[in-house]
Amino acid sequence: MHKFGMIALIGPPNAGKSTLMNTYLGQKVAIVSPKPQTTRNRISGILTTDDAQLIFLDTPGIHRLRGKMNRFLLESAWNALASSDAVVVLLDAALYCAKPHLLDKEIAPLVKPVSEAGRPVLVAVNKIDRVKEKDQLLPFMAKLAELWPEAEFVPVSALKGKGTDELLERILEHTPEGPQMFPEDQISTVPLRFMASEIIREKLFYSLRQELPYSTAVEIEEWDEKSREDMVVINAVIYTSRKSHKGMIIGKQGANLKAIGSQARKDIAELIGRKVHLELWVKVREGWTEDPGFLRALGLGE
């Protein structure tokens, strides 16, 4: 029997949703960073095995947010839930073992709305590699089971790939029968050029300090596979909402932008399996996070 299903990955920012998806796909599809809200759009990853195909819907973290863009982030998480066959809720076990009160603040509010969506719920108790006192884990799991009686619990480390096979088996138990929908070498339902723009955004996140990356967006202006036989030529624009940020992104004598560009070029080349020539530009566009037309153009709004 062949199975096909959509699996929503939800949970607070930084729980490890994007990391888990990338671990399953063995390739970087979703951007990962230690900063919350790195995942803006809903990104899907396709896992194809001999007898199943799973579409993982990676979502932005569910938390209280303000502003138009942020409302979109929240909506996209709930939409993923609505179109899924099963939901995996990720949580950072190390965080809640150290600060139990955060469990009530961040996870308890999810129980009712997620359970009411009527999908099977698997809770991936993540980052167990970081739980220092291992004997904390069992009482913690017991507390979780009390909080979320309808859920199944699987301790994992998404980063180290521990417990992830077990989690996958449990996911497959809840995956309906269905035919393979995508070719086996396709890793995402999202176009490559969008994935490339996400890679550039990831490098921005790593290289910029504080709040700055949240006011940036990346648009691929040109994706040329024909002009040059040996490589793909890509032109991308980094938009920022403030003039003062432009200089920070570019850095002294362009050093920062150059570093972002060379790191992104490597990852994009790996993603598409071809050499890449990448040009990055920085443009100021004031108020873009509140501009519905521009957000739509970036795929950040309906």
Question: Is position 41 an interface residue for Mg ion (rule: CB under 5 A)?
Answer: no
Long-range CB pairs of 19-23 (<8 Å, 24+ gap) are 19/158, 19/159, 20/88, 20/90, 20/124, 20/126, 20/156, 20/158, 20/164, 21/45, 21/56, 21/58, 23/158, 23/159, 23/161, 23/164
How far apart CA 271 and CA 248 sit, in angstroms, is 28
Tell me how far, at minimum, the Cβ of 81 lies from Mg ion, in Å.
15
Question: Is position 39 an interface residue for Mg ion (rule: CB under 5 A)?
Answer: yes
Which residues of the shown chain bind K ion in the complex (CB under 5 A)?
14, 38
Tell me how far, at minimum, the Cβ of 14 lies from K ion, in Å.
5
Task: For residue 113, say whether it is annotated as part of any ligand binding site.
Answer: no
Task: For residue 62, say whether it is annotated as part of any ligand binding site.
Answer: yes
- Count of CB atoms situated within 10 Å of the CB of 289: 19
Question: Is position 14 an interface residue for Mg ion (rule: CB under 5 A)?
Answer: no
Tell me how far, at minimum, the Cβ of 275 lies from ligand GDP, in Å.
28
Identify which of residues 94 and 237 has a Cβ nearer to ligand GDP in the complex: 94
Cα distances from 186 to residues 41, 53, 265, in angstroms, run 19, 11, 21
Tell me how far, at minimum, the Cβ of 63 lies from Mg ion, in Å.
12
The answer to whether 299 touches 44, Cβ cutoff 8 Å, is no
Question: Is position 53 an interface residue for ligand GDP (rule: CB under 6 A)?
Answer: no
Identify which of residues 32 and 204 has a Cβ nearer to ligand GDP in the complex: 32
How far apart CA 20 and CA 203 sit, in angstroms, is 19
Question: Is position 61 an interface residue for ligand GDP (rule: CB under 6 A)?
Answer: yes
Candidate list 5, 12, 15, 18; residue touching Mg ion; CB under 5 A: 18
Tell me how far, at minimum, the Cβ of 177 lies from ligand GDP, in Å.
30
189: left (phi over 0), alpha (psi -120 to 50) or beta: alpha
Chosen from K ion, ligand GDP, Mg ion, none, partner binding at 126 (C-beta under 5 to 8 Å by type): ligand GDP
Question: Is position 91 an interface residue for ligand GDP (rule: CB under 6 A)?
Answer: no
> What single DSSP character describes residue 290?
G
How far apart CA 38 and CA 137 sit, in angstroms, is 28
Task: For residue 238, say whether it is annotated as part of any ligand binding site.
Answer: no
Candidate list 4, 33, 272, 294; residue touching ligand GDP; CB under 6 A: 33
Cα distances from 177 to residues 1, 65, 87, 180, 182, in angstroms, run 7, 37, 17, 10, 15
Structure tokens at 70: 């942020």
Question: Is position 126 an interface residue for ligand GDP (rule: CB under 6 A)?
Answer: yes
- Using the contact rule CB under 6 A, the part of the chain among 9-17, 115-123, 200-208, 288-296 near ligand GDP is 9-17
The answer to whether 171 touches 88, Cβ cutoff 8 Å, is yes
Angle at 21 between CA 76 and CA 206, to 5 degrees: 80
Tell me how far, at minimum, the Cβ of 253 lies from ligand GDP, in Å.
30
Chosen from K ion, Mg ion, ligand GDP, none, partner binding at 129 (C-beta under 5 to 8 Å by type): ligand GDP
The distance of Cα 149 from the centroid of its chain, to the nearest Å, equals 27
Known binding positions: 11-18, 58-62, 126-129
Which residues of this protein are in contact with Mg ion, per CB under 5 A?
17-18, 39
Which residues of this protein are in contact with ligand GDP, per CB under 6 A?
13-19, 32-34, 38-39, 61, 126-127, 129-130, 157-159
